[in-house]
Structures are given as structure tokens and as C-alpha cells.
Amino acid sequence: MITEVVLPGQVEPEGLQLRTRPLPEPGPGQALVAVEASGVSFAEQQMRRGKYYDQPPFPFVPGYDLVGTVVSTGPGVDPALRGRRFAALTKIGGWASHALVGAGDLVEVPEGVDPAEAETVVVNGITAWQMLHRVAKVRPGMTVLVHGANGGVGTTLVQLARHAGVKVIGTASPRHHDAVRALGATPLDYRDPDLPGRVRALAPGGVGAVFDHIGGEGIVDSYRLLARGGTLVSYGTAATRDIPGSSRAPVLKLLARLALWNLLPNGRGAHFYNLWAGRRRLAAYQARIRADLGQVLALLASGEFTAVVAARIPLSDAAEAMRLAESGTVTGKVVLVADQSARPDGEEEGVR
Ligand SMILES: NC(=O)c1ccc[n+]([C@@H]2O[C@H](COP(=O)([O-])OP(=O)(O)OC[C@H]3O[C@@H](n4cnc5c(N)ncnc54)[C@H](OP(=O)(O)O)[C@@H]3O)[C@@H](O)[C@H]2O)c1
């Protein structure tokens, strides 16, 4: 049997349901993965409010990414994948004991890396790596501004930027400043009314890049803080999560604004990063994911990158995991781990 967490509609975390059904058979090109770890991302906070840009229809099984072991393979898939540990981006479906994943979406996890630690760098590692190296193209010696430096993507951005020789100013609530400092960034309070002045005091000529997941009116400050030749990487609209209305309007407004800024002849660039962009050319997209996530997993395996696991919570306590992720008290990633009795060979389930 498979155990999965279902989001039945717009509910509080307590409204999440647990359901069981027979294990599915992998179809052509698919592998069945026994999930060892899945993450709680900001996307699920938006999805449970019906506010995710690409909102799936209710009911559905959330779970943006996962790490697990292949237990069976469908036609056309190398049976040698069985018994090996992989990571995958799923967008939905990861909060389950097992998940069907396209074999082309599997990225091998290096031997000896803990599944929950590997999990922290799947969506976050790909997002942070691609924004730093494919969009902003950071260089050693540069100074960048990372908003939400305590969050899942934020902690990953800070560490990968530091690894690339980049100085980081990281915004977060004051309760997270010690943690942000420990990652190697200079912390500032994002609620400080004079945040732009404080950034300018640290980087008088402006910053080389700003990574902004907040959107709203604050994006104007993010853009103004850029040095000539600098890049604004906008990648979310967290500011509008709790504002009722269309899930798409805030993003479309943001895109229009960025497009307009790009027309200005001031040497600055403004981009929206979308993790799923380019997936229509599937093979090339999957090759990029393998290359970029592979780099981050290698840094994790070598100890040059430290996974920031905020908490490991059993799958059947997904509601608690969600409440914690939304509490504003967290540094790093909340990870759902397989229930104690769930076994990677799929023979026994921890159904509650
Ligand atoms: N475009 C893409 O392809 C892509 C891919 C992945 C993620 N994302 C975006 O990346 C962001 C971070 O995701 P995550 O999974 O890392 O989330 P997370 O771990 O929950 O961290 C969220 C961060 O945002 C801060 N935050 C929450 N609400 C905020 C608000 N209203 N204004 C300002 N800051 C706020 C939190 O600060 P506190 O802890 O102090 O509340 C925390 O630092 C999200 O906006 C998500 O949509 C985008």
C-alpha cells in the first residue's frame, strides 16, 4: 500500500488528510520511488490558500521534491536503478510513502549523503544555483543582497554565494540574525524602514545582484539598490500570500514591471527566475537539472555545503510540519521523513 497526504481544498494545516491505496505500477519511462524525505516549501503554503501561480486542482497530494530509493521500474527504464537513491523535483506528489517519477527526472544522490540532508538542496539547491550562476552570473568579490536569508532557498543562496567568493548581505527577522551570520552573511532586518540606507552603508556603489522572493512594492527598492551592471533576480511574490484574490495577478504585474525596467538604458538587468522554464524541451531541461543539482549534491557530499535541516517530521505529522514551516521561527528547511515503520522495499507501511 501507498500512504499519502492529501490537500482536500483551502484548509488550515489540520485539514490535511492521510489516505492509503494500493501501490501503483510504474508505467513506461517511470520508476516507483520509496520516499525517504520530502520537503515543505513556500509553494505548499501558497497552494493551501489556492494562491500558487500554477495552482493544482483540489484534491491533490502536495510535495514539491523528494529523495528516495527506486523500488521498481517500468518498461523502458534500466532495472539497475532499483535499490539506488535519487532526488527529484515533483511539484506535487512528494508527501507520500511512494511516488511515481519519470526516470529522466531522477538525479542520483552521492553515496553516504543522508536523505533528509540531500532533500534540503533539491528545489532549493537547483533554484539557488541557477539564479546565482545562470541568471546573475556572480563573480568572486561581488556583493549581493539575499532577502529571506533564513529560509530554505535563502540559506542555500547564502552558502552557495559564499562558496563562489561572493559577499552576502542577508535580510531576515532579528531572531534569525545569528543563524544568518553563521552562514557567512551580514544580517539586516527586512522590516527596517531604512533598509535601503543600511544596504548602501555596506555597499556604497550598489550591489551586484539582489535575490528577491517578496515582490510587492519592495521590489522597487531591490531594483534601486543595484550597482551599474547589476542584476535583479525576482523569483516570488511572498508579500501577497495572504492577500485574497487571483494567484496570477501579482506575478503578471511583477513581470510587466521587470520588462519595463529592462527597457531603461541604465546598465541594470531585471529577470524573473522560474524553476520550470524550458521544460517543454524536456531532455535539455533535465540535463540542466542533473548538472546543477549534481554540483550542489557534490558540495554537500564533500562537506563544503552544510544542509540546514530545520526539523525532521514524520510524514503522518505533515500538519505539524506545515504549521512549523509557516511559524516564522524556522531557519532552513522543514523535512518530512518516512514514518518509522515504512520500509524502502515497500513491503510494510506505517498507516495511521
Ligand atoms: N521562482 C521559482 O522558480 C521559485 C522556486 C523555489 C522557490 N521560490 C520562492 O522562493 C521563496 C522562498 O521559498 P522557500 O521554500 O525557501 O520558503 P521558506 O523556507 O518558507 O522561507 C520563506 C522566507 O520568506 C520569508 N517570508 C515569509 N513571508 C514573507 C513576507 N510576507 N514578506 C517577506 N518575507 C517573507 C520568511 O521569513 P520568516 O521566517 O521571518 O517568516 C523566510 O525567510 C518563496 O517565495 C517561493 O515562492 C521560487
Cβ of 95 below 6 Å from ligand 1: no
pLDDT band, residue 247 (cuts 50/70/90): confident
Q: Tell me which CATH code domain 2-120+307-337 carries.
A: 3.90.180.10
Q: Given a cut of 80, is residue 345 above it in pLDDT?
A: no
pLDDT tens for 45-99 read 999 999 999 999 999 999 999 999 999 999 999 999 999 999 999 999 999 999 9
Cβ of 346 below 6 Å from ligand 1: no
Q: Given a cut of 90, is residue 319 above it in pLDDT?
A: yes
Cβ of 150 below 6 Å from ligand 1: yes
- Spacing, Cα 329 to ligand 1 middle (Å): 13
pLDDT of residue 111: 96
Cβ of 272 below 6 Å from ligand 1: no
Cβ of 91 below 6 Å from ligand 1: no
Q: Which atom of ligand 1 is nearest to the CA of 327?
A: 41
Strand bridging mode 2-6 / 17-21: antiparallel
Cβ of 155 below 6 Å from ligand 1: no
* Strand segments (E) across 74-181: 85-89, 98-102, 107-108, 143-146, 167-171
Cβ of 173 below 6 Å from ligand 1: yes
Does the CA dihedral 57-61-65-70 come out positive or negative?
negative
Q: C-alpha grid cell for residue 99?
A: 511516488
pLDDT of residue 344: 47
Mean pLDDT across the stretch 255-268?
A: 94
Write the residue with the smallest CA distance to atom 42 of ligand 1. 151
Instruction: Tell me the sheet residues that pair with 207.
Output: 226
Q: What is the mean pLDDT of the chain?
A: 95
pLDDT band, residue 181 (cuts 50/70/90): very high
Name residue 330's amino acid. Answer: V
Q: Given a cut of 60, is residue 120 above it in pLDDT?
A: yes
Cβ of 214 below 6 Å from ligand 1: yes
Instruction: Give residue 21's region: left, alpha or beta (phi > 0; psi -120 to 50).
Output: beta
Most distant CA atoms of the chain, gap in Å? 62
Q: Which atom of ligand 1 is nearest to the CA of 123?
A: 6
Cβ of 123 below 6 Å from ligand 1: yes
Q: Given a cut of 80, is residue 303 above it in pLDDT?
A: yes
pLDDT tens for 85-107 read 999 999 999 999 999 999 999 99
CA angle 41, 47, 52 (to 5 degrees): 95
pLDDT of residue 340: 76
- Spacing, Cα 215 to ligand 1 middle (Å): 11
Strand bridging mode 143-146 / 207-212: parallel
More confident residue, 244 or 340: 244
Q: Residue 221 and residue 156: Cα distance in Å, rounded? A: 23
Q: Which atom of ligand 1 is nearest to the CA of 326?
A: 20
Q: C-alpha grid cell for residue 342?
A: 515504512
pTM of the model: 0.95
Mean pLDDT across the stretch 207-218?
A: 96
pLDDT tens for 151-175 read 999 999 999 999 999 999 999 999 9
- Block residue for cell numbers 492529501: 6
Domain boundaries, the chain: 2-120+307-337, 123-272
Under CATH, what is the fold of the domain 123-272? Rossmann fold (3.40.50)
* Residues 173/177/181/183 CA torsion (nearest 10 deg): -60
* Residues 147/153/157/158 CA torsion (nearest 10 deg): 70
